[in-house]
Structure 1
Amino acid sequence: MIFSGELRGGEKLPPEGELARQFGVSRTTVREALRSLATEGLISKTPGIKGGSFVQQVDYQSLGTLLRDSLHHRLQLGCLRPDELAMVRQYLEVPAARLAAEHRSATDLSTLRQIVARQKTISVDDPEVPDLDSRFHRTIAAASGNRVLAAFVHALHSETEPLHYLDLSPDVGRETVRQHQKIVKTIAAEDADAAEAAVVEHLSYLRAHLLPTDANDGRAQVPLPLADLPTGDRRLGGHSSTA
């Protein structure tokens, strides 16, 4: 019913008793089936009087959440290393910026400018910094127009937390925001080559300011060779102009 579109994203499933009657099975079988669907990410279960089982929306964010959870479990089990995820994330962010320059919408640009404007007003130790950085890169990936690419960047950014690995001094914070501004300007100008170059410059700068391995629990991200890529004030933004 879900795959055929009879049950659409966001729609609430009938009660267990009704499902049991409809399919001619026991309520126990229905509960087992619902657990399986939830595990597969096809439905979500909400507790409470107004809760129930709902068909998951099928978009890049829900796919990204599924990927993130899967990667998170494998990291916890030691099946994957954080540096492996970080390297893939870096590789994906370059084509994401290029595609964003070609496909971005006015809404995408507005969101990116709002994020950078906020970054300019806060200090490097503000708890909002990691989320803003992640939102910036996820928005670029979403602006690419490729939902699979956006889902992977969403998942990888959520799990690798790039700022966790940086020596984020006020100077590094200000330069990072200036680079974010530059990336936004190239995307706004629909200049794919310049957007790609701006992201490569940004990633190269970040790699140059990684914390020593022992400063981040031995999980330092492996620097990605540049050749492998396509070509006083504590406020993050200092006094630079907005993008």
Structure 2
Amino acid sequence: MPDMSAASMPFPAMPVQRPRQQVESQIKQAILDGSLRDGDRLPAEHALAQSFNVSRATVREALRSLVEAGLLTKGPGTTSGLFVQSVDHNSFSRVVSDRLISVLDIGSVTPDEVSNFRDMLEVPSARLAAQHRNDDHLVELHEIIGRESGTTYNDPEIPELNAQFHCVIANASGNRVLAAFVSALHRTARPLAFVHTDEALGKQSVAHHIQLYRAIQAQDPAAAAEAMQAHLNYLRDHAVANGNSKEVPLPIGRSNSSGRLSDELTKIS
């Protein structure tokens, strides 16, 4: 049998990895193949250094890269170590959130940019939610609206309730990448921080949420997208605070006389 020439060999040359890359790639592979599971604590740096036969500085550099990639997370306290994070759309959302925090901290994002980004994410999100929602999503949305309608516009819980409402819609879309971005936006950028809130805006926002709920419940994609766009346009018109409201806080689900929003809420049960 004739010898094969070097040129005909089917094995291409592979680049030699640096020690840090070897450590990083092996730990990453162990996470991806399930050898290291969500919540597992990694051994200490010195133990990993001995296992990989590298310096502790090399291990530290590799671990830092895996933390930045969202595959590892630091436990509470200074000596608790590093833990494996689940590799799913939730971990992706955490990575996006971390990046958004950095961008917001240096002040390079404007309210207009956040508003435009919401349009690109949340209008399609509502349309898809109307197509793919299930009964559990409807129950979650209804409960959130109920809590919103029974509190005041300046309740500290309002931003969190608003974030939950939009995140449930994104989860109902059936697109986990879209849901990850919507979650990161609301958990980090807090769009309501760019909006002047008062009693009128609070009541109108609840009315918009009810409209969104109804369109999603009816599985009407066009109506859901239209309701979301109207909601975002309304918030855009109220961007940038105009001073502190001097009105007495009232439950945002009720008007001063008719109780119209509370009545509307009972109709979506």
- TM-score when normalising by structure 1: 0.83
Q: Which has the larger radius of gyration?
A: 2
Unmatched tracts of structure 1, length 5 or more: 217-231
Per the alignment, do residues 71 and 52 of structure 1 end up closer, same or farther by CA in structure 2, a change over 3 Å counting?
same
Query: Is the contact between residue 178 and residue 240 of structure 1 (CA under 8 Å) also seen in structure 2?
Result: no
**Deviation at residue 48 of structure 1 after TM alignment:** 5.3
Unmatched tracts of structure 2, length 5 or more: 1-29, 255-261
Runs of 4+ in 1 over 6 A off after TM superposition: none
SS in 2 for 1:44: strand
1:90 is aligned to 119
- Structure 1 CA distance for aligned equivalents of residues 121 and 174 of structure 2: 14
1:240 is aligned to 263
Deviations 1:9-43 (A, max 9, x none): 33222333432232222334323322221122210
120-129 or 15-24, which moves further after superposition? 15-24
2:258 is aligned to none
Deviations 1:77-127 (A, max 9, x none): 344334213211122100000111111122222211111110011001111
Query: Is the contact between residue 100 and residue 188 of structure 2 (CA under 8 Å) also seen in structure 1?
Result: yes
Quick one: which of 136, 150, 168 aligns to 1:107?
A: 136
Alignment of 1:1-243 (within 5 A): 1-47=30-76, 51-211=80-240, 234-238=250-254, 239-242=262-265, 243=268
Q: What is the aligned-residue RMSD (CA, Å)? A: 2.5
Query: Is the contact between residue 82 and residue 160 of structure 1 (CA under 8 Å) also seen in structure 2?
Result: no
Deviations 1:52-96 (A, max 9, x none): 321111232322221122122123234433421321112210000
**Deviation at residue 136 of structure 1 after TM alignment:** 0.9
SS in 2 for 1:133: helix
Q: What letter is aligned with 1:91?
A: M
Q: What is the aligned length?
A: 227
**Deviation at residue 189 of structure 1 after TM alignment:** 1.7
Per the alignment, do residues 84 and 121 of structure 1 end up closer, same or farther by CA in structure 2, a change over 3 Å counting?
same
Query: Is the contact between residue 215 and residue 221 of structure 2 (CA under 8 Å) also seen in structure 1?
Result: yes
Percent identity over the alignment is: 44
